[in-house]
Amino acid sequence: MSEPLVVGLSAVIVAVTDETPRVLAVRRPGAPGAPEGWGLPSGPLDPERDRTLELALRSWVRAQTGLELGYVEQLYTFGDRERRTAGPWDGPREISIAYLALVREGAAPGPAGATWLDVYDLFPWEDWRRGGPPGVDPVVAPAAARGVGPAGGPSRTARRERADIAFGLGGAAWDGDRVLDRYELLYETRAVAEALRDAGGGSRPTAGTGRALALDHRRILASALGRLRGKLRYRPVAFELLPPLFTLSQLQRTVEALAGLRLHQQNFRRLVEQGGLVEGTGKIETRTGGRPAELFRFRREVLRERPAPGVGLPGRRRRRSADGAA
Residues that bind DNA in the complex, under the rule CB under 7 A? 247-249, 264-267, 269-271, 273, 275, 286-294, 312, 314, 317-318, 320
CA neighbor of 268 nearest in space, from 314, 316, 226, 308: 314
Considering only residues 120 to 149 of the shown chain, the ones binding a copy of itself according to CB under 8 A are none
- CB nearer to DNA: pick between 52 and 288: 288
Instruction: Please report whether residue 81 would count as binding a copy of itself according to CB under 8 A.
Output: yes
Q: Between residues 210 and 309, which has the closer beta carbon with respect to a copy of itself?
A: 309
Residue 286 touches a copy of itself, criterion: CB under 8 A: no
* Closer CB to a copy of itself, 45 or 122, in the complex: 45
The counts of H helices and E strands in the chain are: 10, 9
Residue 156: is it exposed, middle or buried by C-beta count within 10 angstroms (0-12/13-18/19+)? Answer: middle
Binding at 249: pick from a copy of itself, DNA, none (beta carbon under 5-8 Å per type): DNA
Binding partner of 322, given a copy of itself, DNA, none, CB within 5-8 angstroms per partner class: a copy of itself
C-alpha 279/C-alpha 267 separation (Å) is 16
Q: Which does 270 bind (CB under 5 to 8 A by kind): a copy of itself, DNA, none?
A: DNA
User: How far is the CA of 211 from the CAs of 163, 204, 223, in angstroms?
Assistant: 21, 12, 17
Nearer to a copy of itself, 29 or 282 (CB): 29
36/50 with CB nearer a copy of itself: 50
- Helix-helix angle 179-188:137-145, to 10 degrees: 70
Q: What is the CA radius of gyration of the chain?
A: 21
Please choose, from the candidates 159, 225, 224, the residue with its C-alpha nearest in 3D space to the C-alpha of residue 187: 159
> Considering the rule CB under 8 A, would residue 1 count as an interface residue with a copy of itself?
yes
- 266 binding partner (options DNA, a copy of itself, none; Cβ < 5 to 8 Å by kind): DNA
In the chain the beta strands, taken as DSSP E runs, fall at 5-17, 20-27, 38-39, 42-44, 71-78, 93-102, 114-118, 278-285, 293-298
Applying CB under 8 A, which part among 71-79, 107-115, 124-132, 181-189 lies near a copy of itself?
Answer: 71-79
Contacts for 175 with CB less than 8 Å, ≥ 6 apart? 165, 166, 168, 315
- Alpha-carbon span 167 to 145, nearest angstrom: 9
* Residue 48 within binding range of a copy of itself, rule CB under 8 A: yes
Provide the binding-site residues for a copy of itself, judged by CB under 8 A.
Answer: 1-8, 44-48, 51-53, 74, 76-77, 79-82, 92-93, 95, 97, 161, 164-165, 170-175, 177, 234, 275, 303-308, 315-316, 318-319, 322, 324
